[in-house]
Chain A
């Protein structure tokens, strides 16, 4: 199972909306609804921000939203804030019972 592809870095200004992408294949992301997104600040454990493509856990800001189109899942952050600066990972739970992770995107808030 190949890793999912994420851009290494993305940047945006406060107040802007940005979209992080996560690309797989027709046989993984393309057929699965078990895509999740995680935020990780330096030195901290990851935190789930989106699960099942577009569901938000309780306590996660509604500025975070998820979607999927074909082989690509996306995480959109609206009203960008300084505290959003972190690494973001997409994760896929496959139909073979394993997890495949993206390489992560470093989000910089300018």
Chain B
């Protein structure tokens, strides 16, 4: 069974930094691209970033470009999102998701990031 478990979400002040992690199991992690998607409280889903299986392709939404960095460790089956210069509008539940057939096939339960002074 595919399982994705995010961690690292917490309360942080504006301008601060945070690193989210996503532990994967139940599939061959190194064979799949991965994404981060976020959802602000009471709002819709927003794609954040994508990384290919080999880290050869990386993309970001315009809203986070230059502030967030996606990475992965194919030995430890883990995905990461380094977030810096955090803003109030970055407050959201952050989900990691496995990519297959151009879709987000499996999702974690999410981790909440709150940016506030």
The interface residues of chain A lying within 8 Å CB-to-CB of B35 are 99
CB contact between A104 and one of B37, B45, B47 (< 8 Å): that residue: B45
The SS class assigned to the A binding surface is: strand
Does residue B80 face the partner (Cβ distance < 8 Å to A)? no
Interface residues in B65-95 by Cβ distance below 8 A to A read: 95
Alpha-carbon distance A101/B48, docked complex (angstroms): 11
What distance in Å separates the Cβ of A109 from its nearest Cβ neighbour in chain B? 20
The interface residues of chain B lying within 8 Å CB-to-CB of A69 are none
What is the total number of residues of chain A having a CB less than 8 Å from a CB of chain B?
Answer: 26
Alpha-carbon distance A98/B46, docked complex (angstroms): 12
Verify B108–A51 contact, CB threshold 8 A. Answer: no
Does residue A110 face the partner (Cβ distance < 8 Å to B)? no
What distance in Å separates the Cβ of B65 from its nearest Cβ neighbour in chain A? 11
Q: Looking across the interface, which residue of chain B has its beta carbon closest to that of A89?
A: B45
Alpha-carbon distance A93/B59, docked complex (angstroms): 12
Verify B57–A48 contact, CB threshold 8 A. Answer: no
Verify B45–A93 contact, CB threshold 8 A. Answer: no
The interface residues of chain A lying within 8 Å CB-to-CB of B59 are 96-98
